[in-house]
Amino acid sequence: MKKRDTIDGKLVMQFQSGNKQALTHLVKRWHKTFCEKANWLVKDTDVAKDIVQDSWQVIISKINQLKDPYSFSSWASRIVYTKSLDWLKASKRKQNHLENYKYEQEVDNLETKEKESIKAQLLKTIKTLPEHQQMVIKLFYVQDYSLKEISSVLNISVGTTKSRLFHAREKLKQILKYRNYEN
């Protein structure tokens, strides 16, 4: 048994017996070592300090349950190690979540750009139609007018409205099919 383990064991037994100063000595002896161990694992000094602080809370809350006081160094080091690994796992999950979010945003942006491109192409194509067909298409699809409302606005019969809408759709289909927008 190392001298260090003997000293730690005695301090643990003193603390378990009610000597609160013994804990202060343990903290002074181990805090820097625990910070170095955590920092070696997580590669961030501030995070390592937080991990060690959390580890001390666990150590203090469970030190009275430590059956072999002379194993303090390995027992407490294991707590620091486990807390460090927990932080790394949580950090990895957070990183994965952020990467997934970023990917989803990029996909959404691409879809939006693609939709805008198709919409622009469609509007350009609509402008190639005769004026009377453009008007019917715009009123029906853009402004959501019913066939009856369109016939009233344009002062034409419902049958003529249907006919213009049908012919406009057919011309759009042909143009878009030719440009490979429709299968």
Give residue-wise pLDDT tens across range 8-59.
999 999 999 999 999 999 999 999 999 999 999 999 999 999 999 999 999 9
pTM of the model: 0.54
Report the number of distinct structural domains present in the chain.
2
Closest of 84, 95, 103 to residue 43, by C-alpha: 84
> What gap in Å lies between CA 74 and CA 94, rounded to an integer?
30
Contact 16, 72 (CB under 8 A): no
What pLDDT shows up at residue 107?
74
Measured from the Cβ of residue 25, the count of other Cβ atoms closer than 10 Å reads: 16
For residue 113, being part of any structural domain is answered with no
Q: Three-state DSSP class for 19?
A: coil
What pLDDT shows up at residue 69?
92
For residue 104, being part of any structural domain is answered with no
The domain spanning residue 89 has which CATH number?
A: 1.10.1740.10
pLDDT in tens, 143-181: 888 999 999 888 999 999 999 999 988 888 887 777 654
- Spell out the residues 6+ positions from residue 143 whose beta carbon is closer than 8 angstroms to its own: none
Q: What is the DSSP letter of 130?
A: -
Residue 182 — pLDDT band, cuts 50, 70, 90?
Answer: very low
How far is the first Cα of the chain from the last one, in angstroms, to the nearest whole number?
80
Q: What is the DSSP letter of 129?
A: S
**Side-chain half-sphere exposure of 103, counting CA atoms within 13 A:** 6
The domain spanning residue 140 has which CATH number?
A: 1.10.10.10
Q: Are residues 65 and 24 in the same domain?
A: yes
What pLDDT shows up at residue 3?
72
Higher pLDDT, 73 or 102: 73
Q: What percent helix, strand, coil does the chain show, rounded to 5?
A: 85, 0, 15
Residue 169 sits in which domain range?
Answer: 127-178
**Side-chain half-sphere exposure of 124, counting CA atoms within 13 A:** 9
Residue owning tokens 């299968």: 183
What pLDDT shows up at residue 114?
78
